[in-house]
């Protein structure tokens, strides 16, 4: 929703819940239709509001219904609880710091530092890991008091108590025949490209000249995508 109605955070009509959201939900129209049949009314056309109502309907289990890349927080005023969630592959980042008087979160480390609520103390072990391997293994970060919510996890903070759980994990089936695997991969890529074209604005494709981007461009024009 490119209008002012899409500005965040978005609140529920009863002001019970609020959500800041970073990402894209590719199946939000289907989920919105299901929620409308259950009696929910929408004030915007955003995928953000769909996530908010899905939480009201299903609680933390709403993450199982989301298809896309996302990181979000939902404040539940009635339960005095904050729920954090990150997409299955961790495409969108989500960092948090636990304090004696609450929870601080953001999509960037520098935002947490800029808040003045998180000391910029560098984790020496994490810094060594970064220079050795080029990255820091989740949930560790470069700051001693900050952690990264791991990919495929949802967490809950309430009255100083923080818990996190994995809601999705990648699984492989090595017994699939090569011919079937190739067909399944093609179908999955075509389905994924189709869903990635859900947008409020025109969608473009950046070409690197490699096989991967060229294949995605070809699939975007495939008759089966329409």
Q: Where are the alpha helices (DSSP H) in the chain?
A: 28-37, 47-58, 109-114, 124-133, 178-196, 211-220
Question: pTM of the entire structure?
Answer: 0.89
Chain segment 165-206, per-residue pLDDT in tens: 999 998 887 788 888 888 888 898 999 988 888 888 888 888
Residue 140 gets which letter from DSSP?
B
Q: Which residue has the higher pLDDT, 84 or 219?
A: 84
Give dist(CA 140, CA 147) in Å, integer: 5
Residues 50, 25: contact at Cβ < 8 Å? Answer: yes
Share the mean pLDDT of the chain. Answer: 92
Residues 129-139: what's their mean pLDDT?
94
Chain segment 41-98, per-residue pLDDT in tens: 999 999 999 999 999 999 999 999 999 999 999 999 999 999 999 999 999 999 999 9
Give dist(CA 150, CA 156) in Å, integer: 13
Residue 214 CA: distances (Å) to CA of 2, 85, 198, 208, 217: 30, 33, 20, 8, 5
pLDDT higher than threshold 70 for residue 164: yes
């Amino acid at each position: 929703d490119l209008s002012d109605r899409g500005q965040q955070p978005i609140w529920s009509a009863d002001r019970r819940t609020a959500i800041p959201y970073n990402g894209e939900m590719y199946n939000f129209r289907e989920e919105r239709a299901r929620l409308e049949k259950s009696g929910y009314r929408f004030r915007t056309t955003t995928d953000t509001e769909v996530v908010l109502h899905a939480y009201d309907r299903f609680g933390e289990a709403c993450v199982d219904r989301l298809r896309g890349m996302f990181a979000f927080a939902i404040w539940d005023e009635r339960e005095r609880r904050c729920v954090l969630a990150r997409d299955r592959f961790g495409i969108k980042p989500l960092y948090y710091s636990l304090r004696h008087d609450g929870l601080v979160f953001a999509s960037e480390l520098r935002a947490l530092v800029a808040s003045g609520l998180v000391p910029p103390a560098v984790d020496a072990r994490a810094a060594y890991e970064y220079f050795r391997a080029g990255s820091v293994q989740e949930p560790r970060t470069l700051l001693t008091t900050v952690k990264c919510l791991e990919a495929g996890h949802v967490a809950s903070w309430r009255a100083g108590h923080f818990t996190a759980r994995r809601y999705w994990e990648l699984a492989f089936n090595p017994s699939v025949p090569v011919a079937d695997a190739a067909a399944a991969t093609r179908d999955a890529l075509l389905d994924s490209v189709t869903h990635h074209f859900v947008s409020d604005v025109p969608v473009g494709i950046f070409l690197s000249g490699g096989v991967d981007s060229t294949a995605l461009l070809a699939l975007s024009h495939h008759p089966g995508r329409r």
